Amino acid sequence: MTLTQTPKPVMLVVDDDPDVLRAVARDLRARYSADYRVLRAESGEEALDALKEVRERGDPVALLLSDQRMPGLDGVAFLSRAAALFPGAKRALLTAYADTDAAIRAINESQVHFYLTKPWDPPQEQLYPVLDDLLDDWRGEFKPGYGGLKIVGDRWSPRSHDLRDFLARNGVPYTFYDLETNDEAQELLGDEGGEALPLVILPGGERLADPDPAAVAEAVGLSRPASRPFYDLAIVGGGPAGLAAAVYGASEGLSTLLIEREAPGGQAGTSSRIENYLGFPAGLSGGDLARRAVAQAQKFGVDLLTPRDVTSLRVEGPYKVLEVAGEGEISAHAVVIATGVSWQKLPAQGAEALTGRGVYYGAARSEAVDCAGENVYIVGAGNSAGQAAMYFSQAAAQVTMLVRGASLEARMSQYLVDQIRKTPNIGVLTRHEVMAVHGEERLEKLTLKNCETGEERTVPTHFLFSFIGAAPHTGWLDGVVARDARGFLRVGDQLREDDLRGWPLERAPFPLETNVPGIFAVGDVRSTSVKRVASAVGEGSVTVSFVHQHLAGL
C-alpha cells in the first residue's frame, strides 16, 4: 500500500484551547501534509461528528491525538468512543504532567496507545519520533478494502486457510471471496469455474489455481534468491531470537543470511498483543514486532530468504553447508539455529480431519473476522492462549478457555490473568479437556470432559484454537547436533560427555554453542529455555558475540 493513493488517511487533533490546537495542527501539517489530511476539532463532541462524516465517505483514519482536559467529553472518553468508529486508528493523549496517571490507566485499558506531555517543543525531538512510530505501526496493520490479491475459495477449506494465514502473517494485502457467502466469488471464477481452488488473482490479472504459499510469495515479489553462496553467519528461523541475531550480526559487519520457512516473527508473530515487552507500555502485536525487526535487519543489509525450508546441515571442516529447498546449498562460517517450536496436534478424536475447517493451531488472525458473533473455544493456559482470548473477545460473542490445570496463574503472566477476569465475554473452564471434535464439512461441536468428575458434555461451536504442547522442529539436525529426549538442542554446560566426544577444539563450547563448533542455538529451540520474547531477543543478540569469538579462532 502507498500513501499516495487518494483519499489521504486522516489525522485528527482535538483540543479546546485554540492556541494549542493551531500549534499542534501546524506541526502536524509541516511534517505529514504530503501523505495525510490533518483535521482539527475544538471538542470531543465536534471530533466525533467529524469522524462520522469521515466514515460515511469511507476515508481511512490513521491517528487521533486528543487533549485530556476538555469540558464535557475528556480525552480518554473521546478516544474510547472514537475507537468504536475506527478501531484501527492509533490513539494518543496530549496531557499535562498532572494527567499522566489518567493516561497510564487508559493505556492499561487498551483505549490509548501512547501519551505525550506538554510542551512538545521541539517537535523534531518530542513529537515527530513518537508519531512516526505510531504511523509506521498503522501502515503495517492497515489493509484497505481494495487492491492487493484476490482469493476465491471456501472459507472452511484447509488450503484456503493456510494461504490466507500465510499472507496475513507476511503482511500481504488480499481480499477473500467466499463461495458460500459472496456473490462476486462466482463472477470471478467465470462461467466455466473449472479452476482448482483456492484461486489467486494477482493485481495484473494473472490467475494461480490452488498455488502453494511459496508460489504466491514468488509471484508477489516476497521471495528473493540469496545474493551469495557463502556468508559469515547464517541464521535458520525468523522468530524474535533469529531476528535479533540477524540485526546484531549484520550491524557488526558480518555478512548475514536469515532463512525463514513461513513468516518472520515465528510463533510470537501470531500474538495479538504483547504487553510486557520493555519499552512498549501500550503493548505491540507480534506482527508489529516482526515488521519492525525485519525493517531493522534489512537496514543493516541482512539477506532474508523466505519462505524457504532448510532440509539438512552438514559440516565440512570450518564450513557449515545448509541444503535449502528451492535454493540448493548455501555455506557459512557460523550457523545460529533459531527455529523455535510449533504447536502439537490436539489429541482429540476427529481433530485431524477438521484441521483448517474450524480447528486451528495458534492465533489464526486470518479467521478473526469470521468469528464475529460466534462462540470461540481456546485450549491452553499459557500467554499465547491468553493473548488470543483477549484478541478474539473483541469480536466473538463468547470466548471460553479450556484449561487442564487448576488455574490460569500457573503458566500465564498475571497481567493477562487480570485482563481475562475483567473481560465479561471470556469464560474459563479449569480441569477441562477436549475429548472429540465433530462435524462433516466444518467443525460443528465439541465433546468436553471435566477431569475432576469424569462428566462429558457436548457444546456447539465452529471455532477451536489450540495452544498446547510446543515441540521443536529439529529433525533435520538428527545426527549432527546433540538433542535432548524431546528434540530440543543442548548447548554450553547442558552438553553431556557423550555429546562432546568428537569436540575438536581445546576451548570448551561457548554458553549458546552446540556440540559442533560454530553452530549455536537460541530461543525456544534450546533445551530448558525461558519461553518469553525478551529472553529470545536477548539470546539472539548475545550469541553474536560468541560468533565473533568463534570466527576469530578460525
Q: Which amino acid is located at 305 in the chain?
A: L
The residues of the chain that CATH labels 3.40.30.10 are 149-219
Spatial strand order of the sheet with 375-379 comes to 359-361, 463-466, 375-379, 398-403, 426-430
Based on the number of CB atoms within 10 Å of its own CB, is 451 exposed (0-12), middle (13-18) or buried (19 or more)?
A: middle
**What is the C-alpha separation between 94 and 20, in angstroms, rounded?**
10
Q: Report helix, strand or coil for 343.
A: strand
Mean pLDDT calculated for residue range 369-392: 91
Mean pLDDT calculated for residue range 488-504: 95
Q: Choose the most confident range, by mean pLDDT, from 38-42, 284-288, 361-365.
A: 38-42
At residue 365 the predicted structure's pLDDT band, cuts being 50, 70 and 90, is low
**DSSP code, position 357:** T
Q: Which amino acid is located at 253 in the chain?
A: G
pLDDT of residue 366: 67
Assess whether pLDDT exceeds 50 at residue 1. Answer: no
10-141: CATH, from 3.40.228.10, 3.40.50.10860, 3.40.50.2300, 3.40.50.300: 3.40.50.2300
Assess whether pLDDT exceeds 80 at residue 102. Answer: no
The distance from CA 457 to its chain's CA centroid, rounded to whole angstroms, is 34
Mean pLDDT calculated for residue range 88-111: 74
Q: Report helix, strand or coil for 10.
A: strand
pLDDT of residue 4: 40
Asked whether the whole model's pTM tops 0.85, one would answer: no
Assess whether pLDDT exceeds 80 at residue 22. Answer: yes
Assess whether pLDDT exceeds 90 at residue 530. Answer: no
Percent of the chain exceeding pLDDT 90 equals 62
Q: Report helix, strand or coil for 538.
A: helix
Q: Which amino acid is located at 230 in the chain?
A: F
For residue 501, CA distances in Å to 170, 198, 315, 495 come to 42, 52, 16, 10
pLDDT of residue 76: 87
Assess whether pLDDT exceeds 70 at residue 120. Answer: yes
Which CATH number does 359-468 carry? Answer: 3.50.50.60
Q: What is the pLDDT of residues 126-171, one digit of tens each?
A: 889 889 988 988 887 776 554 578 999 998 999 999 999 888 888 7
Q: What is the pLDDT of residues 264-311, one digit of tens each?
A: 888 777 777 788 888 877 677 788 888 889 989 999 999 999 999 999
**Of 99-103, 164-168, 247-251, which gets the smallest average pLDDT?**
99-103
Indicate the helix (H) or strand (E) that contains 307.
none
For residue 97, CA distances in Å to 28, 134, 227 come to 22, 21, 51
At residue 5 the predicted structure's pLDDT band, cuts being 50, 70 and 90, is very low
For residue 340, CA distances in Å to 199, 224, 234 come to 32, 23, 16
Q: What is the pLDDT of residues 384-403, one digit of tens each?
A: 899 999 989 988 999 999 99
What are the cell numbers at 292?
Answer: 519492525
Q: Which residues of 518-554 are buried (b: 16+ CB within 10 A; e: fewer)?
A: bbbbbbbbbbebebbbebbbbbbbbbbebbbebeeee
Fold for the domain defined by 149-219: Glutaredoxin (3.40.30)
The residues of the chain that CATH labels 3.40.50.2300 are 10-141
The residues of the chain that CATH labels 3.50.50.60 are 230-342+471-552, 359-468
Q: Are 86 and 61 in contact (CB under 8 A)?
A: yes
Which CATH number does 230-342+471-552 carry? Answer: 3.50.50.60
pLDDT of residue 109: 64
Residues ≥6 apart with Cβ < 8 Å to 209: 195, 196, 197, 199
Assess whether pLDDT exceeds 90 at residue 484. Answer: yes
pLDDT of residue 143: 62
- H-state helical runs in 175-300: 183-189, 213-219, 240-251, 286-299
Neighbours of 165 (CB within 10 A): 22
